[in-house]
Each structure stands twice: as C-alpha cells, then as structure tokens.
C-alpha cells in the first residue's frame, strides 16, 4: 500500500488529533494507537556525539552506546566519552558512566548488572582487554573474571540462557579455535568449549529469540551445513544449526531483530531489503530500499529499519546501483513498516549523510526506539549521531 502525499501523516499528528478532538474546550482521553502504529517521528533531546555511534543497548531506563566518538555534548557542555557512554532514556540526561576504550566499540550486550562490549580496542576502562570485555553497569569498572585473548574482532554480542554469544571475524579465543562464533558462561566468564558453532566468513549479528540463537553475516555455511547461508538458527546449548529454520538469503545479513511473528533481517544486495521470516525460515514479506538497511528493531507491531538508503521501493525490482524501478517513497536513512505484512508506514524521520544508521534498539517498557549512526540531523533538526523516538 502506498500513502499519497495528500494523506501522509505522522504518529505525532495522530496523537495530537486524538488529544484535541471533541467538543469545543473539551480534552478527551488519548486512545491507544492501533497495532502497527509507530512512535513519534520527532526525536527527543539527547546528548550528541562527535563520532559515529555503532552500538546501542537498553537496560531498564538506561541506554548504553558505543562507537568511534571521543566526546559527548549535553546541556551546552562537552565532556570526554571515549567510545562508550550511557544516557538516562527517560530524561535524556548524559550519565556519569564513562569507561574509556582506546579503539572502536562495535557491540554491546547487558546482563546481570554487567555491560559486555566488543570491538577493536586493546584497553578498556584502564585494563588490558583484547577486543572483548565486561564492565560494571553502574561504575564502569572492568571485571577480572572476563579476560580473553581474541584473534580477530567481535562484531556482535547477545546475552541469553546464562551465556554470552559472540560473532565477528575472530578465528580463536584463548588459543582455542573459534570460527567467528563463540559462547561464554555469564557466571564464570569462561569460554564454553562445548558450544561448537563455526562460520566460514564474517558474522555481523547475533540475536537470541524463541529458544534459538540467530546469526547473520556474509558466511555461506555454519558447521558445514547446507541451508545456513547468510542467516542461520543455532541451538543455544550446542551451537548446532537448527534444521527447522531454512531461509534462502541471497545477500549479506547486516542485522536481525525478533518479534512475535518471527524474525526480521536487514540484507544487502542490489539496493537492500528487510525480509520477514517465519519460524521455519519461509519469507513472509520483503521491503526493498535503494541502499542497504544496516539496523532493524521491532516495537508494538512496527518494524523499524535504518541504513544508508534514501528511498523505499514500491516493488522488489531494482536497477543499476540498486535504484527503484517501479517507483518509490522518500525515506532517508530511517523507515517503519507494519510487522504484519510489511506495509510502509507514514512515519518519517529522515536522517542525512552517507552511511546513515548503524544501530537500532527498542525499549518496550518505555515504548522508545533509538537509532545510532553517522547522521547529524533528523527531519532537518540537529541530532548528532544518536536519536531516540518515544
């Protein structure tokens, strides 16, 4: 379904109409938004950052961010924040949590009062850490129980089942062969030698959902198994590929999100596309863009996507350099679609720049969505590299 310009409205406008409709002078109670309704497309006030935000993770009312930045600005004051920072997601205030990393942070996961980070760093909060570390979620202090030597880099982290799952470019952990996938015990911090998943090329995303670990990237096989190219479901206990999930992904998977109806993958390709898969791996719907989506998240029946696209195509057909063949709707770096069928929603939060959005996350408790990346504006208003919608 295509929304003509004459009826294109934002979720913010819908709320305003609900609040102000009725007899003159009367204020009626706001009614719940229907399923597949989006959060406001006007971003809240948050700190700004002087470098790309590449990782976002919520833990209750706290939003943790990581990336390439070395400072943050809030309330007109610029302070040091070396590739890691925390924000009060309710008020937008920059928090004191500020453990420094000496190089890029690409992944964050939060569990049990700890923040796990992965990336290219060799020093974390003043301690030697080889691209992977554990920090206290309140103080930022490093934990000595989680020290590992990693050959290569972690690109993605997720915590579930008492374990931390990691994906990336690494080929060993502590001298033990680990082909781009590994799992650690959250209690002891130990590498789990019985978890046997291994991919033949880069893993860019790992997500825990529905009793599975979903991994995505540029790989062609996990554990040599057919039907595992670019996105695969793994057993959380053994790491073995789950043969009940057999998608047919033709292009690299940049990100995965899970919702009540299945999983959603941000794929590259000619243009780029977000694909909705059911629990068997069958495709439910596809939404095509003129550039790669690089992040995806789900909240209240809406799938949010971010990347370096400028348009959402009206069909799956793409031409030279991923251009939309059958018409398009302008959505710059951010868009929203109905979880049910992939219908493009009128939610419009246009970003700017070239590389756009690199990370997204949702907070169901606060009903907020966050996007991090290299953008400096949303809908023409300054929002340097971090934007939260609620």
191 part of a folded domain: no
pLDDT recorded at residue 37:
60
Q: Give the number of domains in the chain.
A: 1
Enter the tokens of residue 390.
Answer: 């609620």
pLDDT in tens, 133-180: 999 999 999 999 899 999 999 999 999 999 999 999 999 999 999 999
Asked if residues 345 and 339 have their Cβ atoms less than 8 Å apart, the reply is no
Give the containing element (helix H, strand E) for 224: none
pLDDT recorded at residue 38:
80
Closest alpha carbon to 87 in 104, 108, 118, 112: 108
pLDDT recorded at residue 235:
98
Write down the pTM of the prediction: 0.90
* Interacting residues of 24 by C-beta distance below 8 A, sequence separation 6+: none
pLDDT in tens, 37-89: 689 999 999 999 999 999 999 999 999 999 999 999 999 999 999 999 999 99
CB atoms within 10 A of CB 312: 24
Backbone φ, ψ for residue 291 (5° rounding)? -160, 165
% pLDDT > 90, the chain: 89
31 part of a folded domain: no
Phi-psi region of 243 (alpha: psi -120 to 50; beta: other; left: phi over 0): alpha
Asked if residues 11 and 40 have their Cβ atoms less than 8 Å apart, the reply is yes
16 part of a folded domain: no
Least confident of 19-28, 99-108, 163-172, 199-208: 19-28
Domain around 75: 43-147+247-389
Give the containing element (helix H, strand E) for 19: helix 11-20
52 part of a folded domain: yes
Q: What is the CA radius of gyration of the chain?
A: 21
Enter the tokens of residue 340.
Answer: 């049910």
Partners of 79 in beta bridges: 72
360 part of a folded domain: yes
Which strands, in side-by-side order, build the sheet including 172-173? 150-151, 172-173, 176-177
Closest alpha carbon to 212 in 150, 147, 272, 256: 256
27 part of a folded domain: no
Q: Which residue has the tokens 């069958």?
A: 282
92 part of a folded domain: yes
Asked if residues 288 and 324 have their Cβ atoms less than 8 Å apart, the reply is yes
Q: What's 307's domain CATH number?
A: 2.130.10
Enter the tokens of residue 272.
Answer: 């780029």
User: Degrees (nearest 5) of the Cα angle 228, 233, 237?
Assistant: 125
Average pLDDT over residues 118-137: 98
Closest alpha carbon to 361 in 309, 296, 264, 267: 296
What secondary structure does DSSP assign to 232-270, as a single string? EEE-TTT--B-TT------S-EEEEEEETTEEEEEE-SS
Average pLDDT over residues 219-231: 97
Q: Please give the mean pLDDT across all residues of the chain.
A: 91
375 part of a folded domain: yes
- In whole angstroms, give the CA distance from residue 8 to residue 351: 18
């Amino acid at each position: 379904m295509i929304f003509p310009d004459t009826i294109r409205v934002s979720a913010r406008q819908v709320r305003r109409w609900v609040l102000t409709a009725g007899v003159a002078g009367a204020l009626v109670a706001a009614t719940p938004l229907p399923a597949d309704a989006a959060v406001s497309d006007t971003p809240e006030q948050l700190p700004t950052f002087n470098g790309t935000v590449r990782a976002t993770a919520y833990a209750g009312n706290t939003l943790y961010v990581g990336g390439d930045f070395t400072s943050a600005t809030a309330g007109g004051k610029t302070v040091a924040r070396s590739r890691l920072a925390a924000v009060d997601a309710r008020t937008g205030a920059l928090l004191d949590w500020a453990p420094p990393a000496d190089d890029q942070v690409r992944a964050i996961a939060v569990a049990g009062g700890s923040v796990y980070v992965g990336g290219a760093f060799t020093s974390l909060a003043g301690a030697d850490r080889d691209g992977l570390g554990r920090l206290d979620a309140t103080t930022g202090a490093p934990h000595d129980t989680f020290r590992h030597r990693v050959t290569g880099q972690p690109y993605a982290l997720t915590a579930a089942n008492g374990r931390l799952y990691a994906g990336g470019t690494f080929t060993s952990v502590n001298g033990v062969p680990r082909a781009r996938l590994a799992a650690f015990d959250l209690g002891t911090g130990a590498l789990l030698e019985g978890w046997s998943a291994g991919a033949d090329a880069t893993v860019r995303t790992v997500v825990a959902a529905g009793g599975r670990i979903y991994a995505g990237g540029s790989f062609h096989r996990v554990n040599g198994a057919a039907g595992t190219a670019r996105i695969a479901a793994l057993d959380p206990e053994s790491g073995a590929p789950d043969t009940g999930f057999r998608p047919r992904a033709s292009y690299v998977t940049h990100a995965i999100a899970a919702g009540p109806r299945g999983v959603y993958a941000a794929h590259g390709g000619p243009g780029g596309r977000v694909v909705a898969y059911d629990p068997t791996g069958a495709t439910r719907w596809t939404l095509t863009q003129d550039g790669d989506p690089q992040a995806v998240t789900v909240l209240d029946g809406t799938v949010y996507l971010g990347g370096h696209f400028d348009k959402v195509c009206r069909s799956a057909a793409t031409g030279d350099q991923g251009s939309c063949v059958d018409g398009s709707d302008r959505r710059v770096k951010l868009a929203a679609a109905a979880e049910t069928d992939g219908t493009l929603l009128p939610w419009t939060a246009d970003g700017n720049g070239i590389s756009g959005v690199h990370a997204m996350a949702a907070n169901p408790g606060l009903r907020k969505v966050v996007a991090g990346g290299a953008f400096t504006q949303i809908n023409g208003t300054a929002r340097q590299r971090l934007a939260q919608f609620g």
